[in-house]
Amino acid sequence: MTTFLCIAKHTPQNCPMFNAQSGKVYYDWFAKMPEISQKYGIKILASCTVVSEHLSTMIFEAPNLEVLQRALMEPEFFAVSKVDTFEIKPALGTEETMRLFQQQFQQQRIPITA
């Protein structure tokens, strides 16, 4: 499974907290999220929002980018594109990053100390 970071941002005018249309889009999205995630074999590992900046992040685990993109094209997910702009980036978790560090240090023969 690959980890993906999704960064979403909307304008204050489109904020689902204050805009009824945007709120409905988000409500439908959140209601369908478990079903769509299961259909595509995607896990949502974490999600957080910075309300004052109209910024949200989600961390997904998916078999690959193509599968994640197909899931995001489902009508309820895709409708959020009317409200938010998205960036999707492949990311490494802490364990994977540490493995890369260890491999790099071993290649350079740098001892790793705790």
Residue 22 predicted with pLDDT over 90: yes
Q: Which of 42, 45, 82, 43 minimizes the C-alpha distance to 66?
A: 42
pLDDT band at 57 (very low <50, low <70, confident <90, very high): very high
Q: Which residues make beta-bridge pairs with 59?
A: 5, 46
pTM more than 0.85: no
Q: How many angstroms separate the CA atoms of 72 and 87, rounded?
A: 12
Provide Rg for the chain, Cα atoms.
18
CATH numbers and ranges of domains, the chain: 2-108 (3.30.70.1060)
